[in-house]
Amino acid sequence: MSDELLINVTPMECRVALIQNGTVNELFIERTAKRGLVGNIYKGKVVRVLPGMQAAFVDIGLSRTAFLHINDMVWPRNQAIPNVFELLQPGQILVVQVMKDMLGTKGARLSTDLSIPSRYLVLMPYGNHIGVSQRIESDVERERLKNIIERIQKQHKLPGSVIVRTAAEGVSEEEIAQDMAYLAKLWKHIQRKQQLVSVPSLIFEELPLPQRVIRDLANENTAKIYVDSREVHGKLAEFVEEFVPMMKNRLGHYPGERPIFDLYNIEEDIQKALQTRVALKSGGYLMIDQTEAMTTIDVNTGSYVGGRSLEDTVFKTNMEATQIIARQLRLRNLGGIIIIDFIDMQESHHREEVLLQFERMLERDHAKTKITQVSELGLVEMTRKRTRESLEHLLCESCPICQGRGFVKTAESICYEIFREIMRYARAYASQSGFTVVAHPLVVDRLLTTEATSVADLEHFLNRVIKFQVENLYTQEQYDIILS
């Protein structure tokens, strides 16, 4: 697999696209005015303790108080879960790290179990073990890395747990030692700063998006990294020289007149990723509906009839859908509970093969995913770790016309609402005043044409005159009734 990282920089925002085999699979966006908070370490104050939820709200200086649950706190795990009041009191000062950005109306999610990443390692100062990424499958390599960490950790007198990242596979002891030295220096800096700053304050800020993406995603499969800003290219060159020297010859400045995201039709892919319907090459399609509670994905055969039988057609459509769904989860950054309704298959071995293929596709995802079960109705239930807002929530807002429902009432429905409202007015006001209806052009047009007989009947019944006035600025559901 050949990967490329394309970095588009403007004064307002930075966007990074991960290209795999010529297709954009992941998109990262960081706006200057709204930088992500995940990874940041703060000195905060407990505002309120919630014993019923075993949690607390903590002021870390953001617009909303952040949320800290007891499961995200440091306490001896060989003991029973303590009561939250045993660990937290209102007014208590804490050093915490953001695990999840503020999403919608929810505040940031916090942890007291700090996690400080470098290129090859993750330092967790309050732990006491050595872990190796599960994606490193070789037992020999896992043992080699554990032995290296034990030796170097003693040398640097570094406390806590160390997790070896996937990028460390095959890396020399010298390079890992450099990473460990960097983490030791950084941890001392954090400890010093937390003693000096007031409450609430930012103690440590995560790297900007371009450096963060190179640290976390660049590997031996990365063929090139292009950035269209000469200034950012200079900063990345320094970062790569110090932390990721293997990428030195793969980092390049893109000076072309054609926008860098146009090279791979990324702008078009972004627009498609905001649509509900996703076409499959076979003629089938997906329907992706994102709600606050969960995301549902429905697979349909559409116009595809290429199989030898209905079962064959369904099977092939589902197999293609597994690849596209896995890609859409990453591209749209969908998280939380996800329900997938594959087309019903009669053959049990077909169902097993589709599920196995889907699990293989999910292995490429950098976010943690888990298929919990296949329900009795054949629905695949899964979760995907959510740490930042989805593409839709980042780029869009609720429609002011439909209020986020995705539909508006028909002109016919509004006409009947107006009739009922006029009846209420007539009962409420005994005078013989007439009525002026102010409404959207389509509603007024229907009242004067299709509903003209109903209007005449209503005028006769109430013995009052009803007039109409067009207001082009009104939405289809807006109207006013004025006594005239």
pLDDT per residue over 259-274, tens digit each? 999 888 899 999 999 9
pLDDT band, residue 313 (cuts 50/70/90): confident
Q: Return the percentage of the chain with pLDDT > 90, whole number.
A: 57
pLDDT at 372 over 70: yes
Question: 188-204: b or e for each residue (b if 16 or more CB lie within 10 Å)?
Answer: eeeeebbeeeeebeebb
pLDDT at 92 over 80: yes
pLDDT at 76 over 90: no
Question: 387-420: b or e for each residue (b if 16 or more CB lie within 10 Å)?
Answer: bbbbbbeeeeeeeeeeeeeeeeeebeebbeebbe
pLDDT at 1 over 60: no
Report the Cα 166 to chain-centroid distance in Å: 23
Mean pLDDT calculated for residue range 372-390: 84
Structure-model confidence comparison of residues 130 and 429, the more confident one: 130
pLDDT at 303 over 80: no
Structure-model confidence comparison of residues 31 and 469, the more confident one: 469
What global pTM score does this model have?
0.79
pLDDT at 158 over 80: no
Q: Could you count the other beta carbons within 10 Å of the beta carbon of residue 205?
A: 12
pLDDT at 289 over 90: yes
Q: Given this model, what pLDDT does residue 135 score?
A: 83
Query: What residues form DSSP beta bridges with 4?
Result: 19, 224
Mean pLDDT calculated for residue range 153-178: 85
Mean pLDDT calculated for residue range 139-154: 91
Q: Given this model, what pLDDT does residue 132 score?
A: 92
Mean pLDDT calculated for residue range 300-326: 84
Q: Convert 243-288 into a string of H (helix), E (strand) and C (coil).
A: HCHHHHHHEEECCCCCCHHHCCCHHHHHHHCCCCEEECCCCCEEEE
pLDDT per residue over 440-483, tens digit each? 999 999 999 999 999 999 999 999 999 999 999 999 999 999 98
Q: Given this model, what pLDDT does residue 304 score?
A: 61
Q: What is the DSSP string of 293-322?
A: S-EEEEEE-TT---SSSHHHHHHHHHHHHH
pLDDT band, residue 307 (cuts 50/70/90): low
pLDDT at 90 over 90: yes
Average pLDDT, the chain: 90
Mean pLDDT calculated for residue range 30-51: 90
Q: Given this model, what pLDDT does residue 380 score?
A: 93
pLDDT band, residue 134 (cuts 50/70/90): confident
